[in-house]
Amino acid sequence: MASTSSAGAAHARWSPLDIAAALASVAGVAAIWLPFAWSTSPAKALRDGDLWYLAAPFLLAIPIAAARIWVLVKGGVPPGAQWVSRALAGCAMAVFAVFIVSALRDNAQGGDLESWLTLLVPLAIAAGWVVLVLRWRPGPAAAQTAEAIALMEATFLVNAAFCLLGFVREREVGWYVTLAVSAAFAAHVIGTMKGRRLSSHQNVWPERLSSRH
């Protein structure tokens, strides 16, 4: 009975935004097998000695989609999921960092503006990701469920931004799907950041009022 009531409560909390976010994450999973550029999908690129660094972070779409669906069905992620999400995001970021270091070494003699933008935009997003990792701590609060997903989404965005910019001239159907998925992930990350800031302000004011009394 308890599990039935909790599932019913989760269904009651469903919103069009939650469903759209879940569908976007599922589209991200599908994009793993769609041709992104040069008739090559991320799944195919995983078997390439040079491209697997870029392909591996796309796999984050799988745990993101799993977490989204779990939240829809259960109303929240299971205990420890926040730490798992941080570990997965960290591993994906480390893989991308290895590629970036190699790319920066190759561009040490200089490159055109497009090449530098392809590097600098993901690095700017990565800097924001580091800030989020340091500020967001795993815990039992429902808001931190959104943060756990947002951390993986932010990592996905770092790699996606590089690939979207780097392969814009060779774009295929997977490129367009990834662009749409990235826009949805970016909206959720920004929304989660705003929600966390608003929540922190709401918690500060009662503490200040009580301290005055």
CA gap 20, 30 in Å, rounded: 15
Residue 149 has pLDDT above 70, yes or no: yes
Q: Quote the tokens at residue 58.
A: 């796309």
More confident residue, 16 or 109: 16
Quick check: 160 pLDDT over 70? yes
Average pLDDT of the segment spanning 174-192:
93
Region 8-17: mean pLDDT is: 57
Mean pLDDT of 121-136: 86
Q: Count how many residues are written for the chain.
A: 213
pLDDT of residue 136: 74
What pLDDT score was predicted for residue 81?
Answer: 80
Q: Which of 27-41, 155-169, 186-200 has the lowest mean pLDDT?
A: 186-200
For residues 130 and 89, the answer to whether their CB atoms sit within 8 Å is no
Q: Is the pLDDT at 186 greater than 70, yes or no? A: yes
Question: For all residues of the chain together, what is the average pLDDT?
Answer: 80
Q: Which alpha helices (DSSP H) does the chain contain, by range?
A: 2-12, 16-31, 42-45, 52-55, 61-74, 81-106, 113-135, 143-166, 173-212
Across 1-10, 21-30, 122-131, the highest mean pLDDT is recorded for 21-30
State pTM to two decimals: 0.81
Cα(47)–Cα(110) distance, rounded to whole angstroms? Answer: 30
The more confident residue out of 116 and 187 is: 187
Mean pLDDT of 179-194: 90
* The predicted structure's pLDDT at residue 111: 65
Query: Do 166 and 118 form a contact (C-beta atoms < 8 A)?
Result: yes
47-75 average pLDDT score: 89
Half-sphere exposure for 173 (CA within 13 Å, toward CB): 9
Query: Is residue 203 predicted with pLDDT exceeding 50?
Result: no
Average pLDDT over residues 52-77: 89
The radius of gyration computed from the CA coordinates of the chain, to the nearest angstrom, equals 19
Smallest CA-to-CA distance from 115 within 74, 168, 68 is with: 168
